[in-house]
Structure formats: structure tokens, C-alpha cells
Amino acid sequence: MLDFSVILAGFADAFTPLNLMFVVFGVMLGQFVGAMPGIGPVMAMAIAIPFTFVIDPLPAIAFLVGINKGGLVGGAVPAILINTPGTPDAAATAMDGHPLAQQGKPEKATKMALYSSVTGDTFSDIVLVTISAPLALVALKMGPVEILALMVFAFSVIAGLVGKSISKGIIAAALGMLAATVGLDPEHATPRYYFGYFELFDGLSLAAVAIGMLAVAEILRRFASSKKGSAAAIPPQKDMAAADRRVSFAEYWACRFTMLRGAAIGTILGALPGVGSTAAAFMSYAATKKSSKDPESFGKGNLQGIAAAESANSAVMGANLIPLLTLGIPGSVGAALIISAFVIHGIQPGPLLFEEQGRLVYGLFGAMIMANIANLFVGQLGLRLWSFVIRAPESVIFSTAILLCIAGVYLATGGLFGVIIMLMAAALGYVMTSFGFSPVIFIIAFFLGGRFEIALSQSLVLLDGNVLALINYPIALALFAIALITMVWMIWTDRRKDA
Amino acid sequence: MKRFIAVACATLLSMAAPAMADEWAPDGPIELQIGFGAGGETDTLGRVIASTIEEQTGWSVVPQNKPGGGGIAMFTGLMNQDADGSVIGMGVSMPVLINLTLRGDQLPFDLDSFDYLGTVTRAQLAIIAQADAPFDDIASLVEYSKEQGGVPVAFDAKPQELMLMALNEQTGAGFKLVSTKSSAEMVQFVLGGQVDAAFNAGTHIQYLQKGDVKMLASANADRHSYAPDVPTLQEQGYDLYTDPYFYFAAPQGLDDHAKAGLAKALDDAIKSDNVQNVVRNAMQNSTNNLGPDGTKKMMEDGLKSVGDLFN
């Protein structure tokens, strides 16, 4: 057990004006790039890492944590205001956030996103600081078979979002799975569907497909349907009641169980490497919708929907650091970038980190707490800026957004090839939406499909292809059973509703 | 903009060292294409080397990530660039050699499509198991696997899979081959008890020091610096090894002056404390620059030995 004085010394190291400055600067940068459709905090971190060579480890890591956390808040902004989520997890936020913004309440929607994001983030940080070590040991026991069962369970919950037509939902999911099989197969590295392009060996870039399908397709739709280019993206409402511009404490408090559930889902999935924030956001959203007394109001600007998505996807970030700090295993690209920052500064994350660098780790925790507070304050100011910006004419907003998407994907994928993939995904997204197929379902299936295939192939080897061998995996069996019950229950409640 | 950068570089150069007048210098910024995505080991190494070269020479070196196919996408693009030293590439030898062996007829390049400039280091590959596992070397692991009717062993790259298949063939161990995505995932599987043994390229070292895992063999041609007592697979009687190098290359046809200038700049950067530290921190390893000729030979010998693995 760590000496208490080390913990105190670590926090004391963190709470200095210099670190505060780096955290606040990081949060501002993160919120800004997060709000740029197509760019996002991961890229900002990748670009910022070389600049941190010259500063001390703690401010350097505090800066990166600030960017990462700021990005969680910023990412919700374009999703809500102009329905162009830059990442799949923000697509869950857009489902209720954008309708609310269209009703003339963009500030209310973004503020709800800010508060629930900070709430979920703080929850997972508390879990990280207090019980990360035992949680990491539990996570270790989650092998491929258990992860496979967990993903089946996640699919069964998310299936509740398919919408009116189950067949169209299944087709969208199957197409997403198909897109996930492009590239070298995970078992024997045989190339599939690569059409002679070696760029496809690693599969279709998630950034290119997600930005194309979610953001660019929406921008194209707006271009196509705009009658005159001078209208504001969101019509300003001059005589708006104050209550429609802010989130009252009563409204926040009404979402407390939703946020708690979202934060718990995000923390659990975040502690398991590779499942990620997209599954968390949609599971939380689907669970909230299913358990609501008024599921019809979701997708039409329900604050609960925003709270569910944002609390879950933000909770993933803190929890991603659990396997990172205790085992040296990055749970996401953002966490992998934090590892490389550690390594560049001569610190090797892993089992010895707490013993050898305990003071630094608690300094990092201190920086995370500062970043959460900074997020709240910077967010308050930043959201005002964004709700001012979107009063600009639609033609300006969307042409800027499409430029940012192209630049962002060019950077993220290292060339024009990714941009072409993005445009193809945009065209597919446009066609799918026009015919009533959900691009969001496609993206979820695409995002989880790769991981699902790996877990499936690993499980088949471990089980020798024998389903009966599952008996040795009680956790997995339980998860499969819960998945089955969830599916039966959902079909049952849908039937009753129709009857 | 280009002209501005060129002028800025020229100014910097003239300020930096008049003594270097007879040495080669680029006309403008050098683009360093990294064959992997941002944030990985190769990317980290490449970016540190780029910034070190900038510091030491005053040149402008711009790192660019060109991920895809373990470097194949980057090298495919690189071979068509001007051979004037303005674009160089950084990759890892093994995936390139494997692809040349498996589908060389489909690739637009071969080993002669490039001029080689040097290597940074060699990745150290180990075979590990939980510390309290009932075996200590490959022979006893094989015995254990036979008793259990085949135990799962994890790998994350083609050469490792081929080595396991060769071991199965030579010994009848019956290993079950579990494919993973990274060293970190393999350590996780070993610690979690999902597999009985696994390859590893560095993540395991801390666990080794802490006593959670033990090392059964080095899968390189030599023993590892941090574990000098653990013999290689070859020393244990299995004629198998893999030596993946991080290396630099330029499009073929670089003139000797430029080649020597670039190779020297790289070598100076690789010798710097900065790069040495990152290599030590990131992979518990020391730098190892084979130089232009040594790199070319390493690639040619490597292609032969990979060919042998597949036969």
C-alpha cells in the first residue's frame, strides 16, 4: 500500500499555478478541437506530444489529459448544434441533442451535455483514484470468451435502437459488419476485400468512415435541402425564456439516475481494453430509453437522452486509465497516446508504476481533477461562443465544416486515400438515410465488428470450437444468458406495445 | 510558403555551421514518412529522430504518418518519389519481408527499389509465461502441452505464428495458436491465465522485474540485454529466430553525396542521448545502427530467412 505522504506529495505537485495553466490551456484546446468536426482531441494529442518534450513530465501529462478531457466536452458541440458528430460516440449525443437545438434551445442542449459529461467523467475518476487496482485484477479475468459474451450483450442492448423496421436495422448492421471485415483477417493475416490497395490492409479507417457517414453525409443533406444560403444554421430566438437557455438544478437532478447508470456503464466498459466509448454511449442511451416511462419522447430532444450518452462516453476516458496505469495496457487510442508521452519522459507504465512513480501518478490524478473543474468553467464560456458562432449563415457553417472534415481525415489517415474513403462513406450514408437505413447502426456494427471478430476467433481457438467447453467460463455463460433474456424481453415489450 | 521555408532553412544553415559547407544539405524540408499510425513505437521513434536531426543540423524534417499494411502502403508511395533526399521512409523490416515473400508478385516494389540509410534498433522478442507456470524452458513447455492435450499460446505477428507452427511440427506440442493485436494484449492474456505462454516485445520486462512472469526463451538470434541468462530458441535446439529492425530507406537512385549526408545525419541523431533514452525507455533496448550497407545486407539476409520459415 502506498504511503499517504506520497499521495499528498503527488497532489501537492499537481496543484501549482503552472500545472493549472497547462491544464486550462489543454482543456481550452481540447474543447476547441473537439468542436471542430473532423479533427478531434486524439489528433490534437498526437500533434501536441512532440511539443511536450521540453517540459517536465507532470505538466506535459496534465496538458495532454486536459486536451483529452476537453475533447469529451467539445465533441458534443457539433453533434448537438449541426448534427455532425465527428466520432461514433457523439452520435448518441446527437440523437436527442440536435432535436433540442432545432427547437431553438441549443444552449440548453449543450449545457446539459457539459454537465453530464463532467459528472460521468468525475465518477470514473473517483473510481480510478480509489479502486483501480482491484478493478484491474477483475478486468484481467475477462479473457476473449468473456469479452465476446460482453459484446453479444452490448449488441443485444443496442439492438433496442434499431427503430421501427427491424429488417432495415439488421441490414444496416450487416453492412457495417461487412465493412469491418476489410483488411487482413485477424487470425492468419490473409487480405480481404482490398482490391489491390495496400492502404486497406489495416482495414477501413474508423475516422474516415465515421466522419464521412455521420458528419459529411449530414452536411451534404443540408446543402441539398437548403433553399437560400443566408439562413442561420439554427434560427436565433430573440424572445426566449431564460429557462430555455439554461439547465435548472431540478432538470439536472431529474437525470441523476440516468447519469449514474451512464457513468457506471462507461466505467465498466472503459476498464476493459478495446470495447470503448461508442458501445458505452449507445448502451447507456438504449438502457435509458427502454427503462423510461415515456420512450416516445426520445429522439425528440429529451434531456435524459443527452445525459445518458454524455455521462457514459465521458466516463470511459477516466476508466481507460485503469488498465493503463495498473497493467500498462492502453484501452483506447487516447490512452495509447498518453503512454507514449509517459515513455518519452522516461516513465514506463506498468505494474511497477505505482511503486516507482507513485508521486507522479497521484500528481496525474490531481491534474485530472483540475481538468474536470476547468472543463466546467471553460465550457460555460466556450458554449456561449459556439451558440454565437452558429448564428452565422448555414452556407458559411457547413462549408467550413466540410473543409475541416477533409483536413481532419487527411491528417488522421495520412493522405488523400482516407479522404476518398470518407467521401464514399458519405455517399453511402446519404443513400442509406434516404432509404430509411440507419447509418448510426452501420457505424456501431462497423466499430464493434473488428473487435468482435478478433474475440470470436480467439474464443474459437480457446474453446477448440466446442460450445460445451463454455461450461468452464461461468462469467461468459452468465453474460450470454443476460443477452438472451434482454432480447426476449425487448421483443416481448415491443409486441405488447404494438398490440 | 515552400520558398519561405527554404530561405529560412538556408539562413539557419548558414548560421549553424560554415564548416559544413562541403557537406550535403537538402534543398528544402525533408519529409519523413512513417509507415505506421500516430502514437505507436515506430511513430515515437521517428518523431524523436526527426526533431533531433532538426536540432543537430538545422534542416527541417517533417514527420508524416502513412499507415497501412505494416508499412507496405508507405513504401509503395515512397518508391515513386523523387530520389533527391527530400523524402525518406521509416518502417519495420519483418512485415515488409513477409509480404515480399507471400505476395511479392503483387507488390510494386522489391528490395532493390530503395536505397537503405540505416537502422535504429532491433526489436527484442521473448517467449514468456506466468512466473509459477510448471515449466521453465521451451522443452518443458512442449512436454506440458503434450500432457494437457495442447495449451493455448499467443502471438501477434506472422513470423511468430510461423515459429509456433514450426514448433508444433518439430515436436508435436499441439500448441493452440491464439492471434492477438499487441504485446500488451498478450501480457494481459498471460497474467489472466487465458494462455499458457506468449510472445512479447517489451511490455513484459516490468513484469519480469516484478516477478509476475518468467521468460522461457529469446526468439531473436541473440540473448536479450536485460535477461542474459535466458537462452535463445536456437540455443535450446530449435533452429528458429526473427530479427525485426526499425529501418530507414529512400527511393532508389539517390546520389552518393546525398545518401552519405542523410546517413550521417541519421547516425548522429541515433547516437544522441535523446534517441538513446527513448529507445531505452520504450523498449528496454539499446540503439543499433547497421549503416547503409549493413541495412541492405540485413534486408537481403532477412528475406532469405523468412523464405526458409515458410518452407
Is the Cβ pair B278, A344 closer than 8 Å? Answer: yes
Please write the tens of the pLDDT for every residue from B58-99.
999 988 888 777 888 889 889 989 999 999 999 999 999 998
Q: Which residues of chain A have pLDDT under 50?
A: none
Identify whether residues B198 and B89 lie together within a single domain. Answer: no
Identify whether residues B117 and B130 lie together within a single domain. Answer: no
Residue B228 included in any domain? no
* Chain B residues near residue A46 by CB distance under 8 angstroms: 38-39
Interface of B with A in 292-311 (CB under 8 A): none
* Chain B residues near residue A457 by CB distance under 8 angstroms: 179
Of B152, B187, B191, the CB nearest to A461: B152
Give residue B16's pLDDT: 45
Of A189, A273, A351, the CB nearest to B206: A351
Of B44, B187, B191, the CB nearest to A343: B44
Give residue B20's pLDDT: 47
* Chain A residues near residue B278 by CB distance under 8 angstroms: 343-344
Whether the complex's predicted ipTM is more than 0.90 is answered with no
What are the cell numbers at A254? 431529474
Is the Cβ pair A330, B65 closer than 8 Å? Answer: no
Identify whether residues B253 and B113 lie together within a single domain. Answer: yes
CATH number of B171's domain: 3.40.190.10
- Is the per-residue pLDDT at B6 higher than 60? no
Give residue B153's pLDDT: 97
For B213, the closest chain A residue by CA position comes to: A351
Give residue B17's pLDDT: 44
Identify whether residues B141 and B183 lie together within a single domain. Answer: yes
What is the phi/psi pair of residue B89, to 5°? -125, 155
**Structural domain count of chain B:** 2
Under the banding of pLDDT at 50, 70 and 90, the label for residue B224 is: very high
**Alpha-carbon gap: B292 to the closest alpha carbon of chain A (Å):** 27
Worst-scoring range by mean pLDDT, A381-385, B3-7, B173-177? B3-7
Q: B174 near B149, Cβ under 8 Å?
A: yes
CATH number of B261's domain: 3.40.190.150
Q: Whole domain around residue A172: which residue ranges?
A: 4-232+242-498
Is the Cβ pair B69, A348 closer than 8 Å? Answer: no
Identify whether residues B77 and B40 lie together within a single domain. Answer: yes
Residue B233 included in any domain? no
* Chain B residues near residue A344 by CB distance under 8 angstroms: 44, 48, 278, 281-282
Of B40, B68, B158, the CB nearest to A198: B68
Residue B237 included in any domain? no
Strands B213-218 and B30-34 turn out to be unpaired
- Is the per-residue pLDDT at B213 higher than 50? yes
Q: Which residue has the higher pLDDT, B186 or A415?
A: B186
Q: Which residue has the higher pLDDT, A326 or B195?
A: B195
Residue A138 included in any domain? yes
Identify whether residues B251 and B201 lie together within a single domain. Answer: no
- Is the per-residue pLDDT at B47 higher than 80? yes
Residue B102 included in any domain? yes
Is the Cβ pair B194, A352 closer than 8 Å? Answer: no
Identify whether residues B42 and B186 lie together within a single domain. Answer: no
* Chain A residues near residue B180 by CB distance under 8 angstroms: 454, 458
Is the Cβ pair A46, B38 closer than 8 Å? Answer: yes
Residue A352 included in any domain? yes
For B95, the closest chain A residue by CA position comes to: A189
Residue A237 included in any domain? no
Give residue A497's pLDDT: 64
Whether the CB of B76 is below 8 Å from some CB of chain A: the reply is yes
Interface of B with A in 82-141 (CB under 8 A): 103, 106-107
* Chain B residues near residue A455 by CB distance under 8 angstroms: none
Is the Cβ pair A414, B191 closer than 8 Å? Answer: no
* Chain B residues near residue A352 by CB distance under 8 angstroms: 206, 209-210
Among A348, A463, A466, the strongest candidate for a mutation testing the B interface, having the largest count of B CBs within 10 A, is A348
Return the H-helix or E-strand segment holding B120.
strand B114-122
Identify whether residues B274 and B135 lie together within a single domain. Answer: no
Q: Whole domain around residue B36: which residue ranges?
A: 2-16+28-122+244-310
Is the Cβ pair A414, B43 closer than 8 Å? Answer: no
Please write the tens of the pLDDT for every residue from B248-260.
999 999 999 999 9
- A with B: how many residue pairs have Cβ under 8 Å apart? 131
Identify whether residues B114 and B145 lie together within a single domain. Answer: no
Residue B235 included in any domain? no
Please write the tens of the pLDDT for every residue from B129-144.
999 999 999 999 999 9
Give residue B39's pLDDT: 64
Identify whether residues B8 and B117 lie together within a single domain. Answer: yes
Give Cα separations from A474 to A143, A146, A154, A321 (angstroms). 12, 9, 18, 27
**Alpha-carbon gap: B171 to the closest alpha carbon of chain A (Å):** 20
Strands B114-122 and B152-155 turn out to be unpaired
Is the Cβ pair A186, B194 closer than 8 Å? Answer: no
Please write the tens of the pLDDT for every residue from B229-273.
999 999 999 989 888 999 999 999 999 999 999 999 999 999 999
* Chain A residues near residue B191 by CB distance under 8 angstroms: 140, 327
Identify whether residues B10 and B82 lie together within a single domain. Answer: yes
Under the banding of pLDDT at 50, 70 and 90, the label for residue B5 is: low
**Structural domain count of chain A:** 1
Identify whether residues B51 and B77 lie together within a single domain. Answer: yes
For B155, the closest chain A residue by CA position comes to: A187
Supply the pTM of this predicted model.
0.83
- Is the per-residue pLDDT at B205 higher than 90? no
